[in-house]
């Protein structure tokens, strides 16, 4: 794999001042992600390619011969899973994805078990990981940290790809990818994602999954977003400006009950109180932003309820058995699309597509 040309030709001071849209081309080479760091780097053709590759991986893995084939793809590579924030789904789905395509894995899931407790900087820690690994998958509480690491590694003799598995309050691009895949599958028989109305509900101010997915939806024609939240937890102006620039219509609302029957997808989120400074979110009444069994009666028959999980009270578990509740499908889709993303980063997608084509899968 060739070194990322662009990132080693721009000074950090200049690069760090760019917007996510301006940074995006630095993470992509010839239409393919080298690093996967921000939602803004994924164009519509890239999303469609990734979704079709994901379906291919999913179908191939149904047989023993197919699973063996997938495991041979990256059996010469190692991945480092560096999770400096808690995670269940993202960690386990990346871990499972690596197993599906043969990558061996190492992990640091708690910085207090690494030499960071001896005063080593996070940058030196990751540089150390890059000495042993061919891919770094990382979750970090600091927004933009993964981008800084990608820039730093691109300016060393070992520029391994970096995948952002959640950074601060700003980005969760691979969650947004699995959300797109879930939406595409859910609307397979109803015209796809184009033209759909999608509501985001809950803590939109600090929800990184919402911020990443809202951007990806700008890549689809005629999509309208509804941002439904108490005023204190509404989506940031920076995202709204990006949607304005992309020409995507949206409504800001506090009236969840009114929005439910109007939309094709409802993306629920929990209150992100880990970012509270002084328990401020506990003073906000969020009870009107819960999805209950009664709400199923007014939800469209082809509409879906999504959630990046984990959930608290925002979706009644009694809703889970309704076929329109697709959040457990999101969990599994995360494993497939993360496997596809890594295959694509390492340019193994051609062989996987050929396998699919030859067998009419």
Q: Which is nearer to ligand CP, 154 or 272 (CB)?
A: 272
Q: Which is nearer to ligand CP, 87 or 99 (CB)?
A: 87
Of the candidates 172, 196, 197, 307, the residue annotated as catalytic is 172
Contact assessment for residue 231 and residue 194, using Cβ atoms and an 8 Å cutoff: no
Is position 172 annotated as part of the catalytic site? yes
Q: Which is nearer to ligand CP, 162 or 356 (CB)?
A: 162
Of the candidates 14, 64, 118, 301, the residue annotated as catalytic is 118
User: Minimum distance between the CB of residue 90 and ligand CP, rounded to whole angstroms?
Assistant: 3
> Which token pair is 337?
């699309």
Q: Which is nearer to ligand CP, 209 or 219 (CB)?
A: 209
Which residues 6+ apart lie within 8 Å of 176 measured at CB? 39, 209, 212, 213, 215, 216
The beta-carbon contacts of 28-33 under 8 Å, at least 24 apart in sequence, are 29/2, 29/4, 29/5, 32/344, 32/345, 32/347, 33/161, 33/341, 33/344, 33/345
Q: Report the alpha-carbon distance of residue 266 to residue 316 in Å, rounded.
A: 14
Contact assessment for residue 207 and residue 291, using Cβ atoms and an 8 Å cutoff: no
User: Minimum distance between the CB of residue 290 and ligand CP, rounded to whole angstroms?
Assistant: 19
Q: How far apart are the first and last CA of the chain?
A: 29
Cis peptide before 310 (omega within 30 of 0): yes
Q: Which is nearer to ligand CP, 138 or 348 (CB)?
A: 138
> Which token pair is 41?
């780097």
Of the candidates 54, 90, 209, 286, the residue annotated as catalytic is 90
Is position 196 annotated as part of the catalytic site? no
Q: What residue number has its CB nearest to ligand CP?
A: 90
Q: Which is nearer to ligand CP, 28 or 309 (CB)?
A: 309
User: Minimum distance between the CB of residue 85 and ligand CP, rounded to whole angstroms?
Assistant: 8
Q: ∠ CA(47), CA(52), CA(55), 5° rounding?
A: 125
User: Minimum distance between the CB of residue 307 and ligand CP, rounded to whole angstroms?
Assistant: 9
> Which residues of this protein are in contact with ligand CP, per CB under 6 A?
87-91, 166, 175, 308-310
User: Minimum distance between the CB of residue 46 and ligand CP, rounded to whole angstroms?
Assistant: 21
Count CA atoms closer than 13 A to 65's CA, side-chain side.
3
Is position 89 annotated as part of the catalytic site? yes
Of the candidates 23, 35, 77, 139, the residue annotated as catalytic is 139
> Which token pair is 187?
């609307």
User: Minimum distance between the CB of residue 314 and ligand CP, rounded to whole angstroms?
Assistant: 14
DSSP 291-323: B-GGGGGTS-TT-EEE--S--SSSB-GGGTTST
Of the candidates 89, 329, 332, 353, the residue annotated as catalytic is 89
Count CA atoms closer than 13 A to 148's CA, side-chain side.
13
- Active-site residues, by number, are 89-90, 118, 139, 172
């Amino acid at each position: 794999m060739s070194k990322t040309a662009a990132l080693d030709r721009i000074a950090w001071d200049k690069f760090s001042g760019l917007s996510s849209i301006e940074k995006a081309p630095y993470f992509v080479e010839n239409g393919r992600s080298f690093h996967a760091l921000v939602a803004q780097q994924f164009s519509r053709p890239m999303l469609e390619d990734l979704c079709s590759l994901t379906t291919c991986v999913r179908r191939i893995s149904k047989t023993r011969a197919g699973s063996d084939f997938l495991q041979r793809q990256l059996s010469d590579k190692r991945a480092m899973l560096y999770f400096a924030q808690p995670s269940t789904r993202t960690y386990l789905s990346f871990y499972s994805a690596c197993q599906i395509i043969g990558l061996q894995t190492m992990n640091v899931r708690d910085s207090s078990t690494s030499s960071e407790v001896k005063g080593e900087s996070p940058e030196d820690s990751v540089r150390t990981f890059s000495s042993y690994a061919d891919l770094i998958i990382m979750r970090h509480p600091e927004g933009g940290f993964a981008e800084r690491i990608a820039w730093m590694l691109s300016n060393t003799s070992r520029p391994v790809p970096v995948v952002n598995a959640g950074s601060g309050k700003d980005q969760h691009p691979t969650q947004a990818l699995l959300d797109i895949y879930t939406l595409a599958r859910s609307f397979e028989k109803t015209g796809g994602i184009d033209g759909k109305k999608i509501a985001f509900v809950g803590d939109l101010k600090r929800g990184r999954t919402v911020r990443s997915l809202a951007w990806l939806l700008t890549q689809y024609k005629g999509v309208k977003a509804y941002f439904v939240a108490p005023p204190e937890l509404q989506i940031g102006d920076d995202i709204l400006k990006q949607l304005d620039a992309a020409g995507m219509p949206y409504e800001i609302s506090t009236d969840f009950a009114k929005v439910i029957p109007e939309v094709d997808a409802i993306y629920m989120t929990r209150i992100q109180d880990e970012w509270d400074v002084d328990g401020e979110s506990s003073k906000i009444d969020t009870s009107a932003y819960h999805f209950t069994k009664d709400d199923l009666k007014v939800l469209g028959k082809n509409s879906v309820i999504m959630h990046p999980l984990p959930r608290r009270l925002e979706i009644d578990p009694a809703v889970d058995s309704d076929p329109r509740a697709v959040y457990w499908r999101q969990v599994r889709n995360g494993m497939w699309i993360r496997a596809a993303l890594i295959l694509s980063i390492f340019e193994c997608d051609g062989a996987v597509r050929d396998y699919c084509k030859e067998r009419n899968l």
